Amino acid sequence: MTMPTIPYDLMAERTTLGSMLLEREAIIAISSQLLPEDFYLEKHGLIYEAMLACYAQRIPPDLATVSSELRKREHLDLVGGVTFLSELLTEVPTAVHVEYYASHVARTAILRRLIESGGKIAALGYETSLDLEVTLNAAEETLFSVTQRQHGAEFIPIRVGVQEYFDHIQRDEDEGTVPTGLVDLDSKLTGGFRPGQLILLAARPGMGKSGLALSIAYHLGVRQRRGVAIVSLEMSKKELIQRFIAMHTGLDNRLVEQRARQGDPRILDALGIIAEAPIAIDDRVGVSIFGIRSEARRLALKQPLDLLIVDYLQLLVGDATTMSRVDEVTRISRQLKLLARELNCPVIALSQLSRAVEQRAGRVPQLSDLRDSGSLEQDADIVLFIYRADQDDENEGVCGRTEIHVAKQRNGPVGIVLTHFDAPTTHFRNLSHRKSIDF
């Protein structure tokens, strides 16, 4: 029986490198798709690494500049000298097909990593001492890293990071931000949330935590048609959809179902619009942090994901082996932060406040009021509190001016933003007179 061979395509590797030596624009087309580790032959990877170094210095990667860079790195003789580079250059009549050949290099690299991951997953299967959910999560993370092309990219030269930062500041400053739809809050957040951020949204009962989170989801998913995932441990899919309908139509949330049964055309129109929004909902009861990571990864592979909302953090199931609820919430908050970085999208986690806020005059929330774990404040990039001075729990039907306290922002100012909360539709809206207050 013939043993299968390791997948690679040396001709595609040589043609890709030759195309970049031939045409200075070729590296722009593929630099974001390939890593030096994607090349099967080590010397091909060293040549590509030298090309990336030239590109980072804004120098065209031609025969002379790449030879010079390799010589500086003491790799020129290792790759076969200028003679080998000249061979690569003469083998390629045109660089027009560079993306096609680069895709073959990337494909075989992924297949090799898949083989490597298969071995790691098989080894996990023999680790009988580990908790099953931990083992499954580790196996899935190993496989997910292949699809996300993360292998081998933990460390990068700072010049590559500098180039990426330069490219970032050259782009529109709002590109990549996730707006909330509340202009004053977006202004305070310098445009909105950022990929990789963990945002904690906390308040006393009845202040509208879910309303604010769903208002942001409605703005992003329904109005802007950007991908949103909602993990709802407190409300069902039906209740979430009903709230979206209320926000869209302006009807009282409590009357939506009755009006729908009567065939109200506003609701039928709203259903059609909401149905087309790229919003995904998970309303399973008792879902674990590992379950959220698993489902979010799968969703991110199917569609672009711009925001993940978890409502709410204290209802999540953590690691059953932890000693206390504080340890469990600490583990959950850190996993949510890691998930935000992994998916490269902001994660909004709703949180309860401790009873200490009820004993304080004015009941103004503070960071110390975050419930169950001091790590919540530490892990969060942004902490938002909702506050209304004239609103008690039993009077929650009143509409009116509501404060959103930006109590922590890792890379920006803190302060108070004024909004309008419409309780019948559970919708947060901009105030007609825009004001914000700095601490």
CATH number of domain containing 37: 1.10.860.10
Q: Is the same domain home to 167 and 197?
A: no
Where residue 298 sits, what CATH number does that domain have?
A: 3.40.50.300
pLDDT tens, position by position, 118-163:
887 888 788 777 777 777 777 777 777 676 654 444 556 666 666 6
SS3 348: strand
149 and 277, same domain (yes or no):
no
Instruction: With respect to residue 176, please indicate whether it lies within any of the assigned structural domains.
Output: no
3-state secondary structure of 200: strand
List the structure tokens of 162. 């500098």
pLDDT reading at 99 higher than 90: no
What is the set of active-site residues?
Answer: 234
Question: For 359-378, what is the mean pLDDT?
Answer: 72
> Rounded to the nearest 5°, which phi and psi values hold at 21?
-70, -30
Tell me, yes or no, whether 43 and 100 share the same domain: yes
Residues of the chain above pLDDT 70, percent: 84
50-64, 137-151, 264-278, 374-388, range with the lowest pLDDT: 137-151
Split into its structural domains, the chain has a count of 2
pLDDT for the residue numbered 375: 72
What number is the average pLDDT over the span 344-365? 80
| 247 in a structural domain | yes
Specify if 232 maps to a domain: yes
Is residue 178 in some structural domain? no
Integer angstrom CA distances of residue 23 from 18, 76, 89, 96: 9, 21, 10, 9
- Are 146 and 255 in a shared domain? no
67-72-73-77 Cα dihedral, nearest 10 degrees: 50
pLDDT tens column, 312-340: 777 776 655 555 767 777 788 888 888 89
Please give the pLDDT value at position 437.
47
Q: What is the pLDDT of residue 394?
A: 43
- Is 165 in the same domain as 52? yes
Question: Does pLDDT of 260 surpass 80?
Answer: yes
For 16, the domain range is 1-171
Per residue in 198-231, pLDDT (tens digit) is 999 988 888 888 999 999 999 999 999 999 999 9
Same domain, 102 and 212: no
How would you class 213 by CB atoms within 10 Å of its CB: exposed for 0-12, middle for 13-18, buried for 19 or more? buried
Tell me 322's DSSP state.
Answer: -
Report in angstroms the alpha-carbon separations of 324 from 130, 330, 353: 20, 10, 18
Residue 436 is predicted with a pLDDT of: 46
Are 282 and 352 part of one and the same domain? yes
Q: Is the confidence at residue 108, as pLDDT, over 50? A: yes
Which residues have a Cβ under 8 Å from the Cβ of 345 and sit 6 or more positions away? 178, 195, 196, 300, 305, 306, 307, 308
Residue 177: inside a domain, yes or no? Answer: no
Judge if 19 and 42 occupy the same domain. yes
List the single range of 142-151, 250-259, 341-350 with lowest mean pLDDT.
142-151
Domain identity same for 52 and 154 = yes
Residue with the two structure tokens 């500086």: 72
Kindly tell me if the per-residue pLDDT of 414 is higher than 70: yes
Quote the CA–CA distance of 334 and 255 in Å, as a whole number.
40
pTM for this one?
0.64
